[in-house]
Structure formats: C-alpha cells, structure tokens
Chains A and B, each alone.
Chain A
C-alpha cells in the first residue's frame, strides 16, 4: 500500500519569499515521486520527478525538491515566490504493482502569493 500526505491545504507566502510545500509518503517499495501543478480550470502539469540517483531534483519554473528516504519526505521549494506561482500543487507517489505503475496523489496544497 502507498499513501501521500500533504501538510497544509492552504499556504500563503509574500512575493519574493521562500516557498515550502510539504509532502510525506509511505510506500513498501522504493517509490517514484512527483510534484504536479494545477492552475484553475486546467489539467495537471509535471513540475519535477524523482526516480533514482541524485536526491535533489530540479524542475521547471525554479522549483526543486529533495528526496529524503530517512524522513520519507519529498518537500517542494522555490527560493523566491512569484505571483504566477499561485496555483494548486499535488504530490504523487508511484510504485510498481504487478508490473504496472500505480500512482497515488495527495490532496493538494493551494499556494497563495501575496503582493
């Protein structure tokens, strides 16, 4: 079984401030981890992913995330928030199940950027 927990359904930051969105996962096998962004009335866009190798992953739009196995975490960060970052962010975990990839999403975190 696998699950994803996103701490904080709403996060507010000032423009230019650090963005930190938290994600913890549980998985019985080494997982693949993803962050997606969803703008209003749109589908999900992949921000970044961790599969194997380097634990610090860089994605689009200046976002990055670090896989910490000991903490079962995959938090998303951005050094300086921009107004265009206001959106909903989803963490997801994927693992091989019976030869197929099984994907589980978190409940999402809405990021508000205050000017």
Chain B
C-alpha cells in the first residue's frame, strides 16, 4: 500500500502565477482533505472533497480551488499567488464517515 502520495515535492513560483498540486489517496479511501501549513504553524483546513464535490471549506479565498477525480485523486489549484501562500500543503485521505486521516508528505510551495 503506497499510502497517500503528493506531487510535486517542491515548487517555486512567482507572485501572480497559478499552481496545481496533486494528491493520490490511500487505497480504499474516498475522501480527500487539503491543509495549508505555514512555517511554525499547525495545519489549517482548506477544503474537503467527497464524490467529486467540495463539501466543506475553511477560511480560504476563492483563489483556492480544487477538484476530485473519479479515481478519488485530487488537485489543489491556487490562482494569483501571493507571497503569503508560501507554505507546506498537505493532503489527507480518509474513508467517508470515519474520522482518522492519513497524511501525505506534502508539497513545499515557495512564492517569490
């Protein structure tokens, strides 16, 4: 079992650009959540996808959007990047109705 995988590992972008991050959930999981972890902070919930729909969202602007595919993998898109978007982006998967989440290794995004 490969667990939760994320790509890319690291990414450097310029202010104003757009970025797409990818996540494959653990085998058997159908729910994907995305978190932003700024340096020295705990993870902040961005949104959660289930059955290809966003069903929960944290306090993040519309610049943050996502998608879930029929195979349960997911993408996080961020438009009009700001310096403050620099962070570790974590993907977590779970089975619907269950509280235990499994985290991927994260994507380190640096905005210059």
Contact = CB atoms under 8 A, between A and B. Distances in A.
Interface of A: 4, 9, 32, 36, 41-46, 49, 51, 90, 92, 94, 97, 100-108
Interface residues of B, number: 26
A43 B100 contact: no
Interface of B: 4, 6, 33, 35, 40-45, 48, 55-56, 90, 92, 94, 98-106, 108
A107 B41 contact: yes
Contacts of B33: 103
A2 B100 CA distance: 18
Contact of B42 (A41, A42, A106): A106
A103 B45 contact: yes
- Chain A interface helix/strand/loop/mixed: strand
Nearest to B41: A107
A103 B45 CA distance: 8
A49 B100 contact: yes
A101 B55 CA distance: 11
A43 B90 contact: yes
Contacts of B101: 46, 103
A108 B102 contact: no
Contacts of A43: 4, 6, 90, 103-106
A61 B105 CA distance: 20
Contacts of B92: 44
A46 B102 contact: yes
B48 to A, nearest CB: 7
Contacts of B48: 100
Contacts of A46: 100-102
Contacts of A102: 45, 56
A101 B13 CA distance: 33
Nearest to B50: A100
Contacts of B40: 9, 107-108
A90 B56 contact: no
Nearest to A49: B100
